[in-house]
Amino acid sequence: MSICQDNRAGLLPKLYYNAQNNSDKINISPDSKVISIPVLKSTFVSPQSQYYDVMDNNFIKDLLHEEHLLGINWNFSADSECALIRLNMNESSYFSNLSKSNRSDYLNQLNNELAHSVPIDPSNIIAISQYQRDSDANSLQILLKLPGNNSIKDLIAMKVIETLNDLITNRDATMISKSLKSSNLDSQLRF
């Protein structure tokens, strides 16, 4: 499985996982319907670029017949900036045990708290419902997406990320520590 960037001269590999050599990095959901891999911060560094997720033939098997399936190509664009935030250990456990609906409510509240702290319109920060476990800290990481449109009038996306980083790493001296959800962000993670 690999992620490539289209740099107009061809596809530039940005990230590659081999199922046999990197099995510790590939997570399969209990129902075997979702495959997740950690994505490095350096993978999507070129905004407005086109990216491709490529799964080779035989990467996955049909559940019913256990036959290997043909590979797939999925393309998407990097028209937004992204940042990872990490919940502290206790909050990670709490979040993991929430229902899907309650997770959505949690992310909406976190989203609003972070937007208020910057301050920007809440529509300019989107807490994505997918998350990944940070094995180094035994905590959950949540992806924040900052849309790459012109709706951020006061601050460009990278400035919002810098501001959030500053607010979270210094949370004891900022309003982040006073909010219900954002007070549970891990201040040790710099993004």
Question: Do 145 and 118 belong to one domain?
Answer: yes
Question: pLDDT confidence of 191, banded at 50, 70, 90?
Answer: low
Q: Is residue 190 part of a domain?
A: no
In this structure, are 33 and 8 located in the same domain? Answer: yes
Of residues 158, 162, 137, 135, the one with CA closest to residue 146: 158
Whether residue 103 sits in one domain with residue 15: no
Q: Is 106 found in the same domain as 64?
A: no
Question: Region 36-65: what's the mean pLDDT?
Answer: 73
The single residue listed with the structure tokens 């510790």 is 24
Angle at 93 between CA 113 and CA 30, to 5 degrees: 115
Cα–Cα nearest to 55, from 39, 74, 80: 74
Q: What is the pLDDT of residues 164-179, one digit of tens each?
A: 888 888 888 888 888 9
* Tens-place pLDDT, residues 2-16: 787 877 777 777 767
**pLDDT (tens digit, 9 = 90+) per residue, 75-130?**
555 556 667 788 888 888 899 899 989 999 999 999 899 888 888 888 878 887 76
Do 59 and 101 share a domain, yes or no? no
Give the structural domain span for 70.
Answer: 2-77
CA 154 centroid distance within chain: 24
Q: How confident is the model at residue 150 (pLDDT cuts 50, 70, 90)?
A: very low
Indicate whether 65 belongs to any domain: yes
